[in-house]
Amino acid sequence: MSEIKRGRGYVYAIQYHIVWCVTYRHKILVEEIDVRLKEILVQIASDNNFTIAEIESDSDHIHLLVECTPQHSISGMIKALKGVSARLLFKEFPEIKKRLWGGHLWNPSYFVATVSEHTEAQIRTYIQNQKVK
């Protein structure tokens, strides 16, 4: 279960299940690109003072379980994660851009759901099993 944390005058345990897809659902999140993407996303989260508790992809989309503070906005976290990761992956793997028309790595939309202490274990298992099909 997510740890109960304390702020100045408040107590919280905030988790989100976040999913987004590669543009046109191209299956590019494989091998070293997949490994590097996960490293980049964890670093972005750390740089922005939130945590990725679980992460897994399935070649054309990525699932995250994010823990954050009440000061974090969902849109701000996703903007940082998608924007910085796309820029760094294009720089490190220029061949990706050739496979994506229009030069956008990520589909502009995303899915987000709140996670409670009752659903956290199920969400973690679901994310961990993304590649196991």
- Active-site amino acid positions: 126
What crossing angle do the helices spanning 74-92 and 31-47 adopt, rounded to 10°? 140
Q: Specify whether the CB–CB gap between 107 and 23 falls below 8 A.
A: yes
Q: Which helix (H) or strand (E) holds 16?
A: strand 14-21
Alpha helix stretches (DSSP H) within the chain: 31-47, 74-92, 95-99, 120-128
